[in-house]
Amino acid sequence: MSHQLNVALEDLGKAMKVLRDSTREIPFRREGFRSVHHAFARSTAVLTVAMSYARSQLEEPAARRRRNRRR
């Protein structure tokens, strides 16, 4: 399950880079685009951080046991 989360986070990062590159030509004041863009970017950042913190909860039980044995 942790692998799926890593893939989702990578895909989200790639999509945000494509969005950033695509919006360079759009005037920010057009139709309130700037405020919508900032709200979307903030909510995406919050989601990314929450998903990153949840990664340890989604590890496979066997991997978690191996990690705990090393201590």
DSSP collapsed to 3 states, 25-61: HCCCCHHHHHHHHHHHHHHHHHHHHHHHHHHHHHCCH
Confidence (pLDDT) at 68: 63
- pLDDT tens digit sequence for 12-61: 999 989 988 887 777 766 677 778 888 988 999 999 999 888 877 776 66
Angle ∠(58,49,64) on CA atoms, nearest 5: 25
Which residue type sits at 28?
F
pTM metric for this prediction: 0.64
Question: Which residue range(s) make up the domain with 10?
Answer: 2-69
Domain count for the chain: 1
